[in-house]
Structure 1
Amino acid sequence: MGGKGRHPEKALTTVQVRALKSPGRYADGHGLYLVVDPSGAKRWLLRIVVQGRRRDIGLGGVGLISLAEAREKALAYRKTARDGGDPMAERKKAQATLPTFAEAAELVHAEHQSTWKNPKHAAQWITTLRTYAFPHLGAKRIDQIETPDVLRALSPIWLTKPETARRVRQRIGTVLDWAKAAGHRSGDNPIEGVAKGLPKQGEREEHHAALPYAEVPAFVARLRAMSGPGEISRLAFEFLILTAARTGEVLGAQWDEIDEPNQLWTVPSARMKAGREHRVPLCDRASEILCRARDLGAGTKLVFPGRESERPLSNMVFLMALRRMGMTITAHGFRSSFRDWAAEATNLPREVAEVALAHTIENRVEAAYRRGDLLAKRAELMSLWSGYLTHPKA
């Protein structure tokens, strides 16, 4: 066996740990050894005297435990043994209290829930893990999860549900980062090496499918001409187009956000993507939609309630409407249509449309000097947009 009798001044180096290939036991000093198995696997071993008996204690594989971490563990175990304790018994006791991946994920979700501004996102965060990660990782103790385990969880959905798979990967990584910070595991996050074992996904769809702005008036006319069940969802859809708002902002709209006399809708920061309050000037047609929605809502707090009066419409309601109309676009795409129209068909400055869309100002200097939200100019812009939708040739 190589390395026996090695003195502290001849301790191992990180380069040696990586380079050693020959099977054997290589001393680092003070009873700590690097063991290279015939298979090529490398692990740490600590040989100490515990309560009068010599004991060999495994500290973990090199892939999980670095040289520095092995030395740190060895020092802690030697101190325990020197004080008359049993490091193995204490380790077993500590391991018995370590959470499983499922338990850790639920803890992370609970700790972060108050920081998420969107309750729907908070629910989706844990739901995706319960659906796709828990069947593979849920029962496994958090300190025992390695890259192959994560790979087994992601492989079934990596190509069939690419966007979901990327989110699951990120969320698994968050749970494992939390576990390391909480002292439940050590070493690198297994998520970092998983990409090497996964096939390349196809190109991401970067933009939401949108109608050319010249076709939006015909779409709105068609939407207004529809009759039968689902009037509240059609009103919500037109309101979304008129205000250039996001789907979640419209579906979650409440009456206490609406200032009807001043034709103003104030979306609170908790419901905005950028986390800042957003004021939306309402055109006359938007106000008409609100009047009709109030009649249909029968005193609910939601402007556009779902089948259950205290719950909003489903976030799929606009997509389903588009499918019934034979359209392959998205509701979010109408924001793009609005932006193109504002740039090509109006003389208002670019930043007016950007603020109307509640976009974050990337230029720090510009952001620092812009104090207001250009409400008066945006009211003019939204009035022009409504007029265009009703009389595109005017």
Structure 2
Amino acid sequence: MARTMHRLSAASLRGKPAGKYADGNGLWLYKRHDDGAQWVLRYTIFSRRHEMGLGRFPDVSLKEAREEAEKWRAVVRQGKDAIKERERERREAERNMHLLADVALDAFESRKAELKGDGKAGRWYSPLELHVLPKLGRMPVSQIDQRDIRDTLAPIWHTKADTARKAMNRLGICMRHAAALGLDVDLQATEKAKALLGQQRHNAQNIPALPWKEVPEFYRSLSGGTITELALKLLILTAVRSYPLRHIRLDQIEGDVWTIPAEAMKGRVGATKDFRVPLSQEAQNVIAAAKPFARDGYLFPGVRKGVISDATMGKFMDRRGMKERPHGFRSSFRDWLAETTNAPHDVAEMCLGHVTGGSVERAYRRTDFLEQRRALLEQWSSNVVELSATDAKVVGILAHSASDS
């Protein structure tokens, strides 16, 4: 065997003319007329001869070629086809070298249809983009473990607890997405990281809300007739969330009913039913005042494009020196319902677009309590604009009778 091995020497390789040169035991150097050269391993398995490329010379040295050849000879001795085994290993390596940044983007794209506005607001992706991908984005997802996740989220685990929770949740989704792609990942990595990080100390704070008795005074102050003020007025009168309010379109309004598409309602992902909002007379007046500002079908357009932002309404309240947030008016309305009306729980929750009861109960309960909600929102409107006592009493009687029915 010694006489048939290592026939070539590193010093003589470069000067050899075009041709095929055996180093022994199946290792050959093929030299071309253009001075290019390739290492080749010849082997026989299952009665068939194969030639396996081992790299270019001089990129792969004689020593390296010999080591590589011996590696694959050992594979052949195990009864495996070296070329097929190398392809299998290459595919396995590629399968497990997907970077987290690529997997996260793919996971986001696959879920866009489930997200409000196809995820254009970026709220699903932003916790990953801001707090996870800068540190872990360039790592192969198969190599990420609980210690990596712990070290990444530890700086915000207690100080920005809600953001950290969302980032951990999104990362878990990405890991499951990677597993669905066939990648070798630790699906328990996020749960293990939570155990390492410990219980979060931060307590979530409720969004500051204006007491319902102070809402009429604030409503009266919205007298400038600007888009922001009109949007805040309609937000108060309808008690809807900011997103559907800001994206309200003229073609969603028919008479005294505003129909919000199902996909624009939080917590109604995949729902097939739209949500109807009864419009009080005051709400209709606000819509009429806002129509001259409409652009591209949107009732509350932004300054340059799109629609008014949530931050715009928040900053308006900031300038008033208020700590309360626009979303808090939903809480103001709910407190008013609880303290001044005898509206049934299901009707009160439906006013806010909340889903109540189990899936079976909801399957049998087909009503959306539109008429009961119409009376309650009319009474709320009366409270907000402070109608005369007589008028308010009449509307109140109607609301109570509707909620009792």
TM-score, reference length from structure 1: 0.73
Partner of 1:190: 189
User: Which residues of 2 match residues 364-375 of structure 1 at below 5 A?
Assistant: 364=359, 366-375=361-370
The answer on whether the counterparts of 2:293 and 2:299 sit within 8 Å (CA) in structure 1 is no
Q: Secondary structure at the match of 2:124?
A: helix
Match for 1:286 among 266, 283, 286? 283
Deviation at 1:384, TM superposition (A): 0.7
Partner of 1:133: 132
Match for 2:298 among 286, 302, 308? 302
Q: Secondary structure at the match of 1:280?
A: strand
Deviation at 1:366, TM superposition (A): 4.3
CA RMSD for the aligned pairs?
2.6
Partner of 2:92: 94
Q: Secondary structure at the match of 1:118?
A: helix
Residue 320 (structure 1) aligned with residue 315 (structure 2): yes
Q: Secondary structure at the match of 1:123?
A: coil
Deviation at 1:112, TM superposition (A): 1.4
Deviation at 1:293, TM superposition (A): 0.9
Q: Secondary structure at the match of 2:222?
A: helix
Corresponding letter in the other structure for 2:259: T
Corresponding letter in the other structure for 1:112: R
Partner of 2:371: 376
Q: Secondary structure at the match of 2:289?
A: helix
* Mapped partners of 2:388, 2:241: distance in 1: 27
CA 146–350 in structure 1, closer or farther in 2 if over 3 Å, else same: closer
The answer on whether the counterparts of 2:175 and 2:185 sit within 8 Å (CA) in structure 1 is no
User: Which residues of 2 match residues 156-167 of structure 1 at below 5 A?
Assistant: 156-167=155-166
CA 311–91 in structure 1, closer or farther in 2 if over 3 Å, else same: same
Deviations 1:168-225 (A, max 9, x none): 111111111111222211444311111233254334325322222112111211223x
Q: Secondary structure at the match of 2:276?
A: strand
* Mapped partners of 2:144, 2:208: distance in 1: 40
Deviation at 1:279, TM superposition (A): 0.5
Deviation at 1:110, TM superposition (A): 1.3
Deviations 1:11-34 (A, max 9, x none): xxxxxxxxxxxxxxxxxxxxxxxx
Partner of 1:179: 178
The answer on whether the counterparts of 2:103 and 2:178 sit within 8 Å (CA) in structure 1 is yes
Deviation at 1:126, TM superposition (A): 2.4
Corresponding letter in the other structure for 1:220: Y
Residue 388 (structure 1) aligned with residue 383 (structure 2): yes
The answer on whether the counterparts of 2:346 and 2:356 sit within 8 Å (CA) in structure 1 is no
CA 90–365 in structure 1, closer or farther in 2 if over 3 Å, else same: closer
The answer on whether the counterparts of 1:113 and 1:122 sit within 8 Å (CA) in structure 2 is no
Equivalenced residues, count: 314
Partner of 1:231: 226
* Bigger Rg over Cα: 2
Deviations 1:111-147 (A, max 9, x none): 1112223334662222332222122111111111111
User: Which residues of 2 match residues 53-64 of structure 1 at below 5 A?
Assistant: 53=74
Partner of 2:258: 265
The answer on whether the counterparts of 1:151 and 1:194 sit within 8 Å (CA) in structure 2 is yes
The answer on whether the counterparts of 1:266 and 1:277 sit within 8 Å (CA) in structure 2 is yes
Runs of 4+ in 1 over 4 A off after TM superposition: 49-52, 86-89, 363-366
Deviates more, 1:158-167 or 1:196-205: 196-205
The answer on whether the counterparts of 1:305 and 1:311 sit within 8 Å (CA) in structure 2 is yes
CA 88–151 in structure 1, closer or farther in 2 if over 3 Å, else same: farther
Partner of 1:58: none
**Identical residues among aligned pairs (%):** 32
Match for 1:358 among 350, 353, 357? 353
CA 100–300 in structure 1, closer or farther in 2 if over 3 Å, else same: same
Which ranges in structure 1 are unaligned for 5 or more consecutive residues? Answer: 1-48, 56-77
* Mapped partners of 2:79, 2:171: distance in 1: 39
Residue 245 (structure 1) aligned with residue 240 (structure 2): yes
Residue 84 (structure 1) aligned with residue 81 (structure 2): yes
Corresponding letter in the other structure for 2:283: A
Deviation at 1:270, TM superposition (A): 1.2
* Mapped partners of 1:388, 1:278: distance in 2: 24
User: Which residues of 2 match residues 193-232 of structure 1 at below 5 A?
Assistant: 193-198=192-197, 200-205=199-204, 207-224=206-223, 227=224, 231-232=226-227
CA 52–120 in structure 1, closer or farther in 2 if over 3 Å, else same: closer
The answer on whether the counterparts of 1:177 and 1:189 sit within 8 Å (CA) in structure 2 is no
TM-score, reference length from structure 2: 0.71
The answer on whether the counterparts of 2:300 and 2:308 sit within 8 Å (CA) in structure 1 is yes
Deviates more, 1:131-140 or 1:344-353: 344-353
Partner of 1:107: 106
